[in-house]
Amino acid sequence: MKGLVISAPASGSGKTTVTLGLIAALRARGLVVQPFKSGPDYIDPAFHRRAAGRESYNLDSWAMGRAQIAHLIGLGAGADLAIAEGSMGLFDGVARPGGCGNGASADIAALTGWPVLLVLDCKGQAQSAGAVALGFREMRRDVALAGVVLNRVASPRHEALMRHALDALAIPVLGVLPREAGIELPERHLGLVQAQEHATLGALLATAGEAAARHLDLDAIIAAAAGGIAAEPFCPLPPPAERIALAQDDAFSFVYPHLIAGWRAAGATILPFSPLADQVPDDSAGACWLPGGYPELHAGRLAASGRFRDGLRRFAQTRPVHGECGGYMAMGAGLVDAQGSRHEMAGLLGLETSYERRRMHLGYRRAEPLAGLYRQPLAGHEFHYATILAQPDAALARVADANGDAVTETGSRRGHATGSFFHLIGAAP
């Protein structure tokens, strides 16, 4: 499958809005677009899914090997082309390589042969945009630059100055987005506000698609798509049970689509339920999984959902319950919100967390479980702002960061209950 990587020199340059607009515009032309996201991110793929009408899968060169990446690209079979949104800047990753790279979007471009469409935030610069694009073209010879999209352009004169510099370098300008394009997305502390929380997302995507059709050279972008990767044998992580109760609502939505797809491909049945609606895990399930999300924004409702908490406790008496990050906090004894109010959680674990004084925890993780649903070494990441006030239970795993240094956040276990701030991506490559 031919494709393109949408990247930029840095976060905040407009990658997501360009990606969504491009997907919507190509889909309006009748093309089937398969979206992907480079790196560990839950929020952008949900927007991709709404824009493309197809599931968006994460591709991660640190947490995944070549075979897994090829397998996930293969899940998009039947599409006309792939559009992969990068993360941070094109070459940004960790210091030590993992599965088949250091987590940079450039690794995915090199591995697949997909050329890069570089989004340049042009605010405050003119001809210097040429120097930026030149540096990105020359940085890695195994990464091809298809061209640039000039974003937040102030005027025709501003555009002409940049085109003059780029034309001299033979770097194609494949789009020019004016500063008032009007397709910005609202953000919060873990990134963009979630797709399912946008009441007018359909209209926003339509606007983005119209802007892309008007301001991007769609014919040239389609012609620039190239590359592809051959499939390799790969076996995803097995499901934790034949029937899995999966928490799914605005408080618990951070679970990787490829993880669920792998479970389903192995024959597992997913049984969604909503803790915010005071629902309980299906009693026919053999395991319960509480993904990450935003329990801190809904702590009062979770504390008032007595039926959910009682049902979860009953379930955990006989079967495994596992929580990731937000799910882990909901399984704890209590959660202190940003205003300093403590809310009672399910109490399956003794964990106490607080958002009164936020502190960011971010990075790749490698875990060696001491108990729980999986026992082999695992690759994942951690991203949250919670402070741990108490963590009295036995450790769930030995955890290290991307440099191999030990991480003190080991997760917890008590009876059939396990949890950690570790977001599972897959078996360690």
Q: What is the pLDDT of residues 357-411, one digit of tens each?
A: 888 899 999 999 999 999 999 999 999 999 999 999 999 999 999 999 999 999 9
Is there a domain that residue 237 lies in?
no
What's the pLDDT score for residue 359? 86
Q: Is residue 173 part of a domain?
A: yes
DSSP annotation of 296 reads G
Distance, CA of 81 to CA of 362 (rounded, Å):
32
229 inside domain: no
- Same structural domain, 52 and 194: yes
pLDDT at 199 over 70: no
| pLDDT at position 332 over 90 | yes
Q: Does residue 387 belong to any structural domain of this protein?
A: yes
Same domain, 251 and 389: yes
Beta strands in 213-341, from DSSP E residues, in sequence order: 243-247, 269-273, 287-290, 321-324, 334-336
Within a domain: 61: yes
Round the average pLDDT of the chain to a whole number and report it. 94
For residues 173 and 41, state if they share a domain: yes
162 with 256, same domain: the answer is no
Q: Given a cut of 70, is residue 196 above it in pLDDT?
A: no
Indicate if 220 and 275 belong to the same structural domain: no
Q: How far is CA 71 from the centre of its chain?
A: 18
Q: For the ranges 99-113, 147-161, 179-193, which has the lowest average pLDDT?
A: 179-193
Provide the percentage of residues in the chain whose pLDDT is more than 70: 95
Residue 161 has pLDDT above 70, yes or no: yes
Domain boundary among 193, 224, 255: 224
What is the span of the domain harbouring residue 311?
243-427
Instruction: Kindly state whether residue 234 falls inside one of the protein's structural domains.
Output: no
Q: What is the tally of structural domains in the chain?
A: 2
Alpha-carbon distance of 64 to 427, in angstroms, equals 8
CA distance 293 to 252: 4
What predicted TM-score, i.e. pTM, was given to this entire model? Answer: 0.94
Kindly state whether residues 220 and 247 are assigned to the same domain.
no
- In this prediction, residue 195 carries a pLDDT of 55
Domain final residue pick, 192, 224, 256: 224
Helices (H) and strands (E) in the chain, counts: 12, 23
Domain of 317, CATH number, reads: 3.40.50.880
Q: Is 325 one of the annotated active-site residues of the chain? A: yes
231: confidence class by pLDDT, cuts 50, 70, 90: confident
* 236 is a domain residue: no
Write down which residue in 224, 254, 277 finishes a domain: 224
Q: Is residue 188 predicted with pLDDT exceeding 50?
A: no
Specify whether the CB–CB gap between 177 and 152 falls below 8 A: yes
* Active-site residue, from 100, 122, 288, 325: 325
CATH number of the domain at 112, please.
Answer: 3.40.50.300
Whether 69 has a pLDDT exceeding 80, the answer reads: yes
Query: Same domain for 264 and 402?
Result: yes
